Amino acid sequence: MIVAEEKDTLREKLKEIFGYTQFRGNQEVVIKNILEGKNTFVIMPTGAGKSLCYQLPAMVKDGLAIIISPLIALMKNQVDQLNAYGINARFLNSTLSKSEITRLKKDCINGEVKLLYVAPESLNKEEYIEFLLKTNVSFVAIDEAHCISEWGHDFRPEYRKIKTMIAQLGNLPVIALTATATPKVQIDIQKNLQMEDADVFVSSFNRKNLFYEVRPKKETKKQLIKFLKDNKGKSGIIYCLSRKKVEEIAQLLNVNGFKAAPYHAGLDPDVRVKNQDDFLNEEVDIIVATIAFGMGIDKPDVRFVIHYDVPKSLEGYYQETGRAGRDGLEGFCLMFYSHNDLSKLEKFNKDKSVQERENARILLQEMEFYAESPVCRRKQLLHYFGEEFTEENCGACDNCVHPRERYDGTEYVKLILEAVQQTNERFGLSHLVNVVRGTEDEYVKSYSHSELPVFGKGADEGADFWKSVIRQALIYQYLEKDIDSVGVLKIKQKGIKFLKHPHPIELARDHDFTTAIDEEESSERTPINSKAYDTKLFEMLKTLRKKIAKEKNLPPYVIFQDPSLEEMATTYPTSKEELASVNGVGMGKVQKFGKSFLELIKGYVEENDIETAADVVVKSSVNKSKIKIFIIQQIDRKVDLEEIAESKSLSFEDLLNEIENICYSGTKLNLDYYIDDMLDDSKQEQIFDYFLNSETDSLETALQDEDMSDFSEEEIRLMRIKFLSEYAN
């Protein structure tokens, strides 16, 4: 059992070594499990912070942790990042020279190294096993564990031998990690590693900071350029289907003054590596790529991922969009969609076997449903991975921000469920549509389905309408797909209940990608919001970071990540201690890189006469300013106020007090996302007018005013903050 004291030590270690104040998601439970010496299986979406799950235990435990990782490029990158924290991590692979290997072995045997990254090929060698037997291995971590499974999307035969090799090293705890695991892959991994006993930790696949949008593929180049202009200087990836398209778009962007480079398997390897490095080192902002790009990349500050062409599967789409916003800051995922693309993709499959073609067709159909559906994108994606997202409105997808027209779907859902029942839960979507619409094809004839009571009852609506109803019934859990027979739909418990006691169900209309688009609607919403931090200082810090990165020959984010720079541009740290308290900055980084950043900030603060955190906050309550920064950042990310209060154990009242303080000390806060949900426009206007005409912003005066009697104290306070932010700050 872990007692509270130990828990605190883990947190302290987290801060001391990595500079983070809090664990994310499952990290802490996973780490505890590993520290208890248990086999552990971790499934976390990209960007959730898998690496820390083994890096921290490696530092806490005695001995050397071995990390098996499939990609040499990624290994170097991880080791660079760890070294920047002052951690002695190394890698062993074919790129090392003889003498480097000799030195590495010596250091490992002497116990100087804490983490050793190896490729599975290397572990295969007799001599390396002998060498590792001389070291004191603490545990083995297997990254990208789905590579073990043939059912995964990236099977690597050499991964199959891992278990045998580990066994030669003794009875060591094993931790397997992956970002994709359908149930089938998951079982495969555990079987292969003989760790059926492992504790499994599955995290939600919801990526809260990603915004999803699908737009019709019309005037796409124009739309693309406009989007990029609105997001100039940000890092992004644009995926295209063909090499030719990649070249074409990269050129188009260059001509239009953007720093972009192409990436695909047809390029000369040198050029490819250079383009990738240029992207990592911020020499270019945008990489235009086929899906060949991405596996080996974990650039944390990718701000957008655009699918210029429709991806082949929803799983691929999720993985690719997952490369945006790994650092937890905004990530915008935009897909251009057309039926034409789907037909093109179908044609690619024409030489495949019947079964393969059928599988590919089903994947494409999922893609089509996703794009055209009026349902929250997030809900759909999570549904696809077997997870239910229950929030009404996610607030971060096109379908939630601009909800589609709704209608009463009660009778329609009822008819579909009856059709499923009357056909004995043995048919799929198209057949059900034929039955309710009264279309007599061969199947209908051979099963005599024209004699069913439901036959033809829905003839007034078109086939697309009915497909949309069925898809929504699936997502809302009235129906489910049969696991054993592809395409067959069954009724869920919720559906049976509904048939017994129908209740109103609202459905929405699908997007119609065949008619002309409303130009205004599709171009207006770029989610990039105004910033609460000092953008000028932020840019200066970025420039400095780039300069230092160049000198040290490292990617910039290895020095400091964007969230840390944002925090510096909010709190203006001017001493080593203040800098070390910035999230993501440990003492190791302060020693290594701190000096020039502190100098820059000091100079900036003096020149601009800025009150720093140290000036404003009373010395004894350093934590107070941390809470303020946290609140500012969370509001910037449009997090619900209740959620913010909860995560800092504040009452709502306390949170409002903090927000008011922030506001009165001159920081603009944009609470529109919260206020708009609470008060309609006319009510907002009423309160706003009051403050515009009032002689004082005193709350008490406002509460006593007759015009304000309809409003709660909370509403008035929130509107006062809005008012102050817009006028006073």
Cα separation values, 465 from 408, 412, 561, Å: 13, 10, 47
Two tokens, residue 99? 């003498």
From ligand ADP, Zn ion, none, which one binds at residue 400 (CB under 5 to 8 Å depending on kind)? Zn ion
Residue number, 324 or 632, with CB nearest to Zn ion = 324
Q: Which stretch binds Zn ion (CB under 5 A): 124-132, 186-194, 371-379, 677-685?
A: 371-379
Q: Is 64 in the site for Zn ion (CB under 5 A)?
A: no
d(CA 562, CA 546): 12
From ligand ADP, Zn ion, none, which one binds at residue 26 (CB under 5 to 8 Å depending on kind)? none
Positions 385 through 424 that interact with Zn ion (CB under 5 A): 394, 397, 400
d(CA 60, CA 44): 22
Nearest residue to ligand ADP by CB is 49
Residues 6+ away with beta carbon under 8 Å from 327: 47, 300, 301, 557, 561, 562, 563
Residue number, 397 or 541, with CB nearest to Zn ion = 397
Residue number, 53 or 613, with CB nearest to ligand ADP = 53
Binding mask 159-198 for Zn ion (x = CB under 5 A): ----------------------------------------
Task: Give min distance, CB of 295 to ligand ADP, in A.
Answer: 12
Task: Give min distance, CB of 45 to ligand ADP, in A.
Answer: 7
Nearest-10 crossing angle of helices 463-475, 429-437 = 130
Residue number, 538 or 674, with CB nearest to Zn ion = 674
From ligand ADP, Zn ion, none, which one binds at residue 378 (CB under 5 to 8 Å depending on kind)? Zn ion
Task: Output Rg (C-alpha) for the chain, integer angstroms.
Answer: 28
- Adjacent-strand bridge partners of 286: 236, 260
What are phi and psi for residue 479, nearest 5 degrees? -120, 160
What are phi and psi for residue 612, nearest 5 degrees? -90, 170
Task: Give min distance, CB of 76 to ligand ADP, in A.
Answer: 14
Residue number, 203 or 399, with CB nearest to ligand ADP = 203
Two tokens, residue 372? 């055209």
Residues 6+ away with beta carbon under 8 Å from 519: none
Strand order in the sheet with 137-142: 89-92, 115-118, 64-68, 137-142, 174-178, 40-43, 199-202
Residue number, 298 or 341, with CB nearest to ligand ADP = 298
Q: Is 381 in the site for Zn ion (CB under 5 A)?
A: no
From Zn ion, ligand ADP, none, which one binds at residue 293 (CB under 5 to 8 Å depending on kind)? none
Residue number, 324 or 342, with CB nearest to ligand ADP = 324
Task: Give min distance, CB of 154 to ligand ADP, in A.
Answer: 15
From ligand ADP, Zn ion, none, which one binds at residue 449 (CB under 5 to 8 Å depending on kind)? none
Residue number, 212 or 690, with CB nearest to Zn ion = 212
From Zn ion, ligand ADP, none, which one binds at residue 315 (CB under 5 to 8 Å depending on kind)? none
Residue number, 241 or 579, with CB nearest to ligand ADP = 579
d(CA 218, CA 224): 10
Half-sphere exposure in the Cβ direction for 399 (13 Å, CA): 23
Task: Give min distance, CB of 424 to ligand ADP, in A.
Answer: 44
Check if the beta carbon of residue 179 is closer than 8 Å to that of residue 47: no
From ligand ADP, Zn ion, none, which one binds at residue 311 (CB under 5 to 8 Å depending on kind)? none
Nearest-10 crossing angle of helices 220-230, 243-255 = 50
Total residues interacting with Zn ion, rule: CB under 5 A: 5
Task: Give min distance, CB of 335 to Zn ion, in A.
Answer: 14
Task: Give min distance, CB of 366 to ligand ADP, in A.
Answer: 24
Residues 6+ away with beta carbon under 8 Å from 302: 235, 236, 237, 323, 324, 325, 326, 331
From Zn ion, ligand ADP, none, which one binds at residue 173 (CB under 5 to 8 Å depending on kind)? none
Residue number, 538 or 560, with CB nearest to ligand ADP = 560
Give the residue carrying structure tokens 């804490």. Answer: 114
Task: Give min distance, CB of 283 to ligand ADP, in A.
Answer: 21
Check if the beta carbon of residue 67 is closer than 8 Å to that of residue 116: yes
From Zn ion, ligand ADP, none, which one binds at residue 394 (CB under 5 to 8 Å depending on kind)? Zn ion
Check if the beta carbon of residue 719 is closer than 8 Å to that of residue 687: yes
Q: Which stretch binds Zn ion (CB under 5 A): 28-36, 67-75, 330-338, 369-377?
A: 369-377
From Zn ion, ligand ADP, none, which one binds at residue 300 (CB under 5 to 8 Å depending on kind)? ligand ADP
Residue number, 302 or 724, with CB nearest to ligand ADP = 302
Residues 6+ away with beta carbon under 8 Å from 326: 46, 47, 298, 299, 300, 301, 302
Residue number, 316 or 438, with CB nearest to ligand ADP = 316
d(CA 317, CA 251): 24
d(CA 316, CA 322): 10
Q: Is 378 in the site for Zn ion (CB under 5 A)?
A: yes
Q: Is 475 in the site for Zn ion (CB under 5 A)?
A: no
From Zn ion, ligand ADP, none, which one binds at residue 376 (CB under 5 to 8 Å depending on kind)? Zn ion
Residue number, 59 or 639, with CB nearest to Zn ion = 639
Residue number, 245 or 378, with CB nearest to Zn ion = 378
Strand order in the sheet with 210-216: 210-216, 331-337, 304-307, 236-239, 286-289, 260-263
Residue 50 host element (H or E): helix 50-60
Check if the beta carbon of residue 677 is closer than 8 Å to that of residue 401: no
Positions 493 through 532 that interact with Zn ion (CB under 5 A): none
Residue number, 182 or 393, with CB nearest to Zn ion = 393
From Zn ion, ligand ADP, none, which one binds at residue 564 (CB under 5 to 8 Å depending on kind)? none
Task: Give min distance, CB of 44 to ligand ADP, in A.
Answer: 5
Task: Give min distance, CB of 633 to ligand ADP, in A.
Answer: 12
Two tokens, residue 457? 């009852």
Q: Is 376 in the site for Zn ion (CB under 5 A)?
A: yes
Task: Give min distance, CB of 53 to ligand ADP, in A.
Answer: 8
d(CA 102, CA 91): 13
Residue number, 46 or 725, with CB nearest to ligand ADP = 46
Q: Is 334 in the site for Zn ion (CB under 5 A)?
A: no
Task: Give min distance, CB of 565 to ligand ADP, in A.
Answer: 13
Task: Give min distance, CB of 401 to Zn ion, in A.
Answer: 8
What is the full DSSP assignment across 153-213? SS--GGGGGHHHHHHHT-S--EEEEES---HHHHHHHHHHTT-TTPEEEE-----TTEEEE
Q: Which stretch binds Zn ion (CB under 5 A): 167-175, 227-235, 376-384, 531-539?
A: 376-384
Task: Give min distance, CB of 440 to Zn ion, in A.
Answer: 39
User: Measuring CA to CA, which residue among 511, 519, 526, 522 is closest to residue 332?
Assistant: 526
d(CA 451, CA 493): 27
Check if the beta carbon of residue 14 is closer than 8 Å to that of residue 20: yes
- Adjacent-strand bridge partners of 213: 334
Rule CB under 6 A: which residues touch ligand ADP?
20, 22-24, 27, 44, 46-52, 298, 300, 326-327, 561
From ligand ADP, Zn ion, none, which one binds at residue 23 (CB under 5 to 8 Å depending on kind)? ligand ADP
Check if the beta carbon of residue 200 is closer than 8 Å to that of residue 181: no
Q: For binding to Zn ion (CB under 5 A), which residues are involved?
A: 376, 378, 394, 397, 400
